[in-house]
Amino acid sequence: MSKFKRIVLAAVFSCGALAPVAAAAGVTVTYETQGRELFSFSAPDDWQVHTGFEVPPSAVPEGESPMARIVSVLPVDIELVMWTGLWAPPEVQRLEDAPDYVRRVAPRLLAEVEITFREEREVNGLPARAISGTGVRDGREFDFALIAIQVTRDRVVLAAFIGEPEAHDRYEGALIALLNSITSRGDDG
């Protein structure tokens, strides 16, 4: 199993109408939510970044958490089915919260999920947990990888890849570089 599959998990989200904001070398993206910077990462050279949108807390029914902004990152020249995304769900405040969150969203993304790898690790000195494996969507098998990283005392970022095995093989170096570029922007990270 490749290094990236060992360090990244199972989630793909419907990203809605998102406009690409970058397709150039050396772009650093800072993830901000509710006026708070949580983390940053470097987009791979010539990849598009779709920043997603944020729902203000006042528009969310009482007792529900606002949907997290999802940042999608894709190669400009993509010919294969794949998705890479980063997001920080408000209800995932500790690494221990991540498995329950993933169990709730995974069935909407993939069926017949088989986890083939689990690991506790660090990303840039930040505690993290990773899983990877395979799953099925619309009758097709996909690889997936997800890593949960504790970026501040009370927030976790999820970084995910899902795609055809050939997509992973082609873009593995860029995916590893993206993962290794994630750093905390919080003052308590």
| pLDDT the model gives residue 19 | 41
Q: Which tokens go with 33? A: 């939510």
Q: Which residues contact 135 (CB under 8 A, 6 or more apart)?
A: 10, 106, 109, 110, 111, 112, 113, 114, 141, 142, 144, 162
| pLDDT the model gives residue 33 | 86
Q: Do the beta carbons of residue 179 and residue 159 sit within 8 Å?
A: yes
Q: Which tokens go with 134? A: 């395979």
d(CA 95, CA 159): 13
| pLDDT the model gives residue 25 | 55
d(CA 10, CA 143): 8
| pLDDT the model gives residue 14 | 30
| pLDDT the model gives residue 188 | 60
One-letter identity of residue 44: P
d(CA 139, CA 124): 37
Residue 99 vs residues 143, 149, 159, 165, 178: alpha-carbon distances, Å: 18, 12, 14, 24, 22
Helix, strand or coil, per DSSP, at residue 5: helix
Task: Tell me the pairing of strands 28-33 and 183-184.
Answer: unpaired
Q: Which tokens go with 35? A: 């006026």
Q: Which domains does the chain have, with CATH numbers?
A: 3-56+65-184 (3.40.1000.10)
| pLDDT the model gives residue 5 | 37
Per the confidence metrics, is the pTM higher than 0.75?
A: yes
Residues of the chain with pLDDT under 50: 1-20, 22-24, 189
